[in-house]
Amino acid sequence: MFYSDNFLVQWHRTLRGIAEQHVTDVADSSRLFALASLAMGDAFITVWDSKWHYSFWRPITAIREGANDGNPLTDGETGWNSMITTPPYPDYTSGANGVTSATMQILRSFFGTNKFVFSVSSVPVSKSRVYIRFSDVQDDVVDARVWQGIHFRFADEMGRKQGERVALWVFENFLKPVQPK
């Protein structure tokens, strides 16, 4: 349930904590937030484009309709439910993982390392977790969305790749640091 928070809010809250502890210059802090926001927005665009292009069913439909899918090796479980409310739009790819990975890739690029001690908080469970790698957050969100029952793993993993690629492109092409004259 830790990762059932609003991901945009959760990652901006995390960015705020990281900036307060590790970024001393207001221009650098502004750049970090702008890069992350651009990458999150672009990740959402690419994920939603995939969702509507592929229109792939969610686990709840696949599990409940397993007896009707034309495969004699699957059975349906009509009473099955996901741990959190299943969103009313296609599965592939994962928006949560796209946005999470875009944010974590911006942080990796900004600080020049994957190893970094920081915390992430969750409003739904009123707890925080300390991480030592940005990629560990990505691993956790992929697993969480599968365990919550709202995504197939391949949708989460592709959302992760999309978010990383978008963030790398944003970081390499926009909002370069200003060089002193």
Q: Where are the domains of the chain?
A: 2-173
The predicted structure's pLDDT at residue 165: 98
The predicted structure's pLDDT at residue 178: 82
CB 109 within 8 A of CB 167: yes
- Regions of the chain short of the pLDDT cut 50: none
The predicted structure's pLDDT at residue 180: 72
Buried b (16+ CB within 10 A) or exposed e, 81-90: ebebebeeeb
The predicted structure's pLDDT at residue 33: 98
Supply the CATH classification number for the domain 2-173.
1.10.606.20
The predicted structure's pLDDT at residue 179: 79
In the three-class reduction of DSSP (H, G, I as helix; E, B as strand; rest coil), residue 117 is classed as strand
**Calpha distance 51→95 (Å, rounded):** 9
